[in-house]
Amino acid sequence: QDDLPNDFDGTERNALLALLSEFNNPFLKSNWTSIMCYKNKPPYWFGIQCVDGRVTGIVLENMGLAGNIKPDALVNLTQLSVLSFRNNSISGNVMGFSYNHKLTQIDLSGNMFDGPIPDSLLTLDFLESLQLQDNMLTDSVPAFNQISLREVNVSNNRLSGPIPNTIVLQSLNSSSFSDNPGLCGPPSPIPCTITNNTPNSTNTHHSHFASIFIVVDIIFLILVVALFIIYCRKSRKMKKEKKRKLVDQEEEEKVDKNMDVEEKGKLKFMDKEMGFELDDLLTASAEGLGKGNFGSCYKIRLCEAVTMVVKRLRDLKPLSSNEFEKNLQAMVGLTHPNLLPLLAYYYSTNEKLLIYRFASNGNVYNRIHGERGTKNRIPFRWSARLSVAHAVARALHYLHLNPISSQPHITAAHGNLKSSNVLLDQNDAVLVSDYGLTSLIALPIASQRMVSYKSPEYQIHKRVSPKSDVWSFGCFVLELLTGRVSTHGAPVGVNCVDLGSWVHRAVREEWTAEIFDGEIAAERGANSGMVRLLEVAIKCCEKSPEKRPEMGEVVREIEDVIEMVEEDDDGDGEFSSVTDYSVPATPVIIANGGGDGDYER
Ligand SMILES: Nc1ncnc2c1ncn2[C@@H]1O[C@H](COP(=O)(O)OP(=O)(O)OP(=O)(O)O)[C@@H](O)[C@H]1O
């Protein structure tokens, strides 16, 4: 098996051979033959890195490669993480990177690339190093601002215009931008001056105009000079005064500006200072956790014991700093053991960040669906699922009892409850995240992307309420019970099921036993508890909000189920941990395989 070539349909091999044909390099031509990569063996082709038979790196440095690379040369190399053509003689425009989201390092330095730096580089969320120095690149520097980006060098090119005012670019050394005659503004020492270059035709027109009135101008000038001489002494005194005032004013403006920069550069802590600042987050090592509906999350390791998560928000309403702050400060005082607390936030015109503690055992979506069918799968036991349902119900109940004060108009307290927003910390404590953000998001975007807005009442009456959270909770519990991916919150491209309709149909047609995830259905004595929890979930998913229970009632019903399960559990009463490695007991009833939905979206 290990020796099998794994060439991913040959598309990656073809992409590399297309590159080879551009370079016309005899050594590569003789080397890049036969099988490119074998599964679990080092790659056979020079300069190519593979993992599991997929191309993850192209490193062809100092090889005298010449020729042009096509703009779409990399589209089929979707697993690419490292790309280096350093010190060759490659010319033409830089290729596009729109399909290479895994790229972390790009080095095209020391070539003859010309034309603009492609904007597709801005979409690489995990890019850490970008080396473009010593080329002939023109136009402006794109507004790079990926948090992961630690090194950028565009020196010795033909770039021009002001360096964009992004946190990432502004934190670089001026040497990263040196030797670009047209580049200006900080961090480069060359200031940007406003040029008033009038077009040629206008110049001609002006000179013609000037020649007609030249005599008048001269007479006027003589008069002015005469007047100037007469009033010279008096005006000198006035000028001095004016100049002193201007200097004072400039000094004041400078102080204001510095204060503004200082103000912008600070994190606002919700409760207490945490002993780190924005700079610490920006300079520490960062790892992408994933892209959500409202931004990307990064894991930032500040030191051995402290790991934070920075959520970089996008698609927000246009909010002023005060409005943004007011919305977040309204969450101060929300404390519940099952709510992930917001620790700090950051606002500037271009950047809005939220800072949370890192929950090291990941999210419940991965816990339910991750590693299915592999030996790495850790069974997610029935009692652990019941504990998660209980904790999430308690968190929602707490949110419903403590509405966020600045948001009386936002009636769904969470608004986006789904399994990827339920996290597990190192002790498997359940932490509901992403609450309290509804008021930051414009309604059209919220209605497309947030779970509460997928509820029947929003579809029909364009209304959400705390009962929409109850509906989202019902869908979440159905996901826990069935092991099937719910439509509401499934990642793009994953098979999923409208669980509410699917379960109703299953109950109506009396194939109830097939509802439960095979992994839990096989557990001894679990059935009656699972059926009770299923009934709770079905009630929560009622089409009419009025028929759904309040969260307090849901908590009580789940506690009844827990009590029943503990009694049935031969008196041992121990609930398994969410990451329980123990093997399930004897199988009892038929069940689905979990994971792959029969009904696609
Ligand atoms: N504090 C945290 N600790 C650990 N993982 C986290 C933390 N916050 C977010 N994540 C993970 O980072 C990834 C991206 O999270 P994010 O909230 O941006 O997107 P999402 O939950 O997939 O969708 P949405 O934007 O709709 O909430 C998810 O896998 C999420 O579980």
- 421 CB within 6 A, ligand 1: yes
Continuous segment of H or E residues that includes residue 194: none
CB 416 near ligand 1, within 6 Å = yes
Q: State the pLDDT at residue 576.
A: 52
What separation in Å is there between the alpha carbon of 148 and the centre of ligand 1?
Answer: 17
pLDDT at 382: 93
Tens of pLDDT, residue by residue over 197-236, are 444 444 444 444 455 556 777 777 888 887 877 776 666 6
pLDDT over 90 at 578, yes or no: no
49-88 pLDDT tens trace? 888 778 899 999 888 898 899 999 999 999 999 999 999 8
- What distance in angstroms lies between residue 1's CA and the mean position of ligand 1's atoms? 36
| Closest to 327 measured CA to CA, from 336, 338, 316 | 316
Ligand 1 midpoint to CA 279 (Å): 23
pLDDT band at 258 (very low <50, low <70, confident <90, very high): very low
Annotated binding site: 311
| pLDDT, average across residues 311-339 | 86
Which atom belonging to ligand 1 lies closest to the Cα atom of 294?
A: 25
pLDDT digits (tens, 9 = 90+) for 403-417: 765 455 555 578 899
CB of residue 472 inside a 6 A radius of ligand 1:
no
Q: Is the pLDDT of residue 599 over 80?
A: no
Share of the chain above pLDDT 90, in %: 38
Would the CB of 434 count as within 6 Å of ligand 1? yes
Better-scored residue on pLDDT, 163 or 501: 163
| Cα 417 to averaged position of ligand 1 atoms, centre (Å) | 12
Write the CA distances from 380 to 369, 405, 525, 578, integer angstroms.
Answer: 10, 37, 16, 6
Strand, coil or helix: 376:
coil
Tell me the C-alpha distance between 382 and 47, whole Å. 49
Contacts of 80 (CB under 8 A, 6+ apart): 55, 56, 57, 58, 74, 100, 102, 103
Asked if the peptide bond before residue 42 counts as cis, ω within 30 degrees of 0, the response is no
Q: How far is CA 272 from CA 18, 171, 268, 373, 431, in A?
A: 57, 27, 9, 45, 20
What was the pLDDT predicted at 598?
31
Q: Give the C-alpha distances (Å, rounded to integers) separating 349 from 69, 145, 167, 442.
A: 37, 13, 11, 17
Ligand 1, atom 4, lies closest to the CA of 359
Report whether residue 289 contacts ligand 1, using a CB cutoff of 6 Å: yes
Main-chain dihedrals φ then ψ at residue 10, nearest 5 degrees: 75, -5
Model pLDDT, residue 4 = 46
Q: At what angle do helices 551-568 and 382-401 cross, to 10 degrees?
A: 160
DSSP state of 180: -
Tell me the residue type at 28.
L
What pLDDT is stored for residue 153 in this prediction? 95
φ, ψ dihedrals at 98, nearest 5°: -65, -20
User: Two tokens at 574?
Assistant: 């121990």
pTM: 0.60
Which residue in this structure is represented by tokens 């008096």? 234
Is 125 touching ligand 1 by the criterion CB < 6 Å?
no
Q: Smallest Cα–Cα separation from 595: which of 372, 423, 385?
A: 372
Separation of CA 160 and ligand 1 centre (Å): 38
Write b or e for each residue in 482-514: b if 16 or more Cβ atoms lie within 10 A of its Cβ, otherwise e. bbbbbbbbbeeeeebbbbbebbeebeeeeebee
For residues 431 and 378, is the Cβ–Cβ distance under 8 A? no
Instruction: Look at residue 428 in the predicted model and tell me its pLDDT.
Output: 92
CB 336 within 8 A of CB 398: yes
Q: Are 455 and 475 in contact (CB under 8 A)?
A: no
Exposure on the CB side of residue 441, measured as CA atoms within 13 A: 24
**Ligand 1 touching residue 356 (CB < 6 A):** yes
Number of C-beta neighbours around residue 189 at 10 A: 10
Question: How far away, in angstroms, is 310 Cα from ligand 1 center?
Answer: 10
If you average pLDDT over residues 376-385, what whole number do you get? 91
Going from the Cα of 299 to the center of ligand 1, the distance in angstroms, rounded, reads: 10
- The residues, any chain, with a CB within 8 Å of residue 201's CB and separated by 6 or more, are none
Atom of ligand 1 nearest to the CA of 296: 18
The predicted-structure confidence for 347-361, as pLDDT tens digits, reads as follows 988 888 999 999 999
Give the mean model confidence (pLDDT) for residues 447-458: 87
Instruction: For residue 353, report the distance from its CA to the centre of ligand 1, in Å.
Output: 14
358 lines ligand 1 (CB under 6 A): yes
Check residue 327 and give its pLDDT.
85
* Relative orientation angle of helices 527-540 and 382-401, to the nearest 10 degrees: 30
Give the residue numbers of the binding site for ATP. Answer: 311
Cα dihedral value 451, 359, 481, 476, nearest 10: -10
Lowest mean pLDDT among 21-30, 101-110, 564-573: 564-573
Contacts 24+ apart (CB under 8 A), 529-534: 529/382, 529/386, 529/561, 529/564, 529/565, 529/568, 530/382, 530/481, 532/557, 532/560, 532/561, 532/564, 533/386, 533/389, 533/477, 533/481, 533/558, 533/561, 534/478, 534/481, 534/503
> Which of 278-282, 428-432, 569-573, 580-584 is least confident?
580-584
The region that residue 598 occupies, defined by phi over 0 for left and psi between -120 and 50 for alpha, beta otherwise, is alpha
Pairing between strand 268-269 and 342-347?
Answer: antiparallel
Segment among 157-161, 164-168, 280-284 with least mean pLDDT: 280-284
Q: Which atom of ligand 1 is nearest to the CA of 293?
A: 25
Tell me how far the alpha carbon of residue 188 lies from the centroid of ligand 1, in angstroms.
36
State which amino acid sits at residue 51. V
- CA–centroid distance, 182 to ligand 1, in Å, is 41
Give the residue carrying structure tokens 């005194």: 237
Residue of 530, 542, 413, 553 whose CA lies nearest to 475: 542
Mutation pick for ligand 1 pocket among 361, 421, 438, 440 (CB with most ligand atoms within 8 Å): 421
Average of pLDDT values for 385-408? Answer: 85
Position in ligand 1 atom list of the atom nearest CA 357: 1
- How many angstroms is it from 186 CA to the middle of ligand 1? 34
294 lines ligand 1 (CB under 6 A): yes
Ligand 1 pocket test, candidate residues 148, 281, 287, 297, most atoms within 8 A of CB: 297
Q: State whether the beta carbon of 23 lies less than 6 angstroms from ligand 1.
A: no
Tell me which residue has its CA closest to atom 30 in ligand 1: 420
Residue 501 one-letter amino acid:
S
In the structure, how many helices (H) and strands (E) does the chain have?
16, 20
pLDDT range class, residue 569, cuts 50, 70, 90: low
Q: Is 438 in the pocket of ligand 1 (CB under 6 A)?
A: no
What ipTM describes this predicted complex?
A: 0.98
Is the CB of 359 within 6 Å of ligand 1?
Answer: yes
Nearest atom in ligand 1 to the alpha carbon of residue 359 is 3
Q: Could you give the 3-state DSSP secondary structure of residue 461? A: helix
Q: Distance between the two ends of the chain, CA-based, in angstroms?
A: 36
Q: Is residue 309 lining ligand 1, measured as CB closer than 6 Å?
A: yes
CA pair distance 357, 348, nearest whole angstrom: 22
**β-strand partners of 271:** none
Contact 290 CB / ligand 1 (< 6 Å): yes
For the segment 512-564, what is each residue's pLDDT rounded down to a tens digit? 667 889 899 877 666 788 999 999 999 999 999 999 999 999 999 999 999 98
Per the prediction, the chain carries an average pLDDT of 81
Tokens of 10: 């040959």
**Nearest residue (CA) to ligand 1, atom 22:** 292
Q: What is the pLDDT of residue 299?
A: 92
Distance 528 CA to ligand 1 centre (A): 33
